[in-house]
Chains A and B, each alone.
Chain A
Amino acid sequence: SQQGEEDPQALSIQEGENATMNCSYKTSINNLQWYRQNSGRGLVHLILIRSNEREKHSGRLRVTLDTSKKSSSLLITASRAADTASYFCATGLANQAGTALIFGKGTTLSVSS
């Protein structure tokens, strides 16, 4: 079953513009992560934000988390053609033995030069 849902499904922007992707989820989480997937490749971990954090930065990436609204956003500033990829949010559902990430269906970002 899908826990997270990204919005929009697809996003097209010009190089230099900012890209914002949103993720909503349904149940309580311990952490939320964002991943990137280039065409034909595996997923690459971008950033992790814990449930007690509200904002996190990594280079040109900014992630926010609002646990009261069960939502997160990923902002990519000054986008580049190389940022063209699919972006997925994933939520960690903790249990006694560990954490298994549940992924959304992703946002496909196209950055044109």
Chain B
Amino acid sequence: DAGVIQSPRHEVTEMGQEVTLRCKPISGHNSLFWYRQTMMRGLELLIYFNNNVPIDDSGMPEDRFSAKMPNASFSTLKIQPSEPRDSAVYFCASSPKGYYGYTFGSGTRLTVV
């Protein structure tokens, strides 16, 4: 099992550009989560999906952020247009249905200049 796979590992982009982060969860996991980590705010839950359906997106900062899960093996988080304050490490995690621990990916370090 390769674990949760995120790409790219690092992304440097200019302000105003579109950024797409990708995640492949563990096969068989029903839930997928996107988190953002910064020194100031810690780990923030952005959005999560159960069985490919978005359940709670109240953590998405604003309309510039969107997330999709077109099938059980793939999810994207898109920022358009990007701003310097979006610079952070973005983590994807997945878990089986029920009360289990999450498996996190290695994260995408996003820098917007």
Binding site for B on A (CB under 8 A): 2, 30-31, 33, 35, 41-45, 48, 50, 88, 92, 95, 97-106
A44 to B91, CA, bound (A): 12
Pick the contact of B31 from A33, A42, A98, A102 — CB < 8 Å? A98
> CB distance B42 to A97 under 8 Å?
no
> Does B107 sit at the interface, judged by CB under 8 A?
yes
* Number of CB contacts from chain A to chain B under 8 A: 60
Contact of B91 among A33, A42, A100 (CB under 8 A): A42
Is the CB of B113 closer than 8 A to any CB of chain A?
no
> B42's contact among A31, A50, A106, by CB below 8 Å, is which?
A106
Evaluate contact between A2 and B42: CB separation under 8 angstroms: yes
Q: Which of B13-21, B67-75, B78-86, B95-103 contacts A (4 or more CB under 8 A)?
A: B95-103
Count of B residues near A, CB < 8 Å? 25
B55 within 8 Å of A by Cβ?
yes
Instruction: Given contact pairs A45-B102, A97-B50, enumerate 8 new A-B contacts (beta carbons under 8 Å).
Output: A42-B93, A44-B104, A45-B103, A48-B100, A99-B99, A101-B33, A101-B102, A103-B45
Contact A30 B42 (CB under 8 A): no
CB distance from A3 to the nearest CB of B (A): 10
- Minimal Cβ-Cβ distance residue in A for B48: A100
Is residue B105 contacting chain A, with contact meaning CB distance below 8 A?
yes
Give the residues from 48 to 76 in chain B that come closer than 8 angstroms, CB to CB, to chain A.
Answer: 48, 50, 55-56
- B33's partner among A44, A100, A104, A106 (CB-CB below 8 A) is A100
Q: B45: which A residues are within 8 A, CB to CB?
A: 100-103
Q: Which residue of B lies closest to A5 (CB)?
A: B42
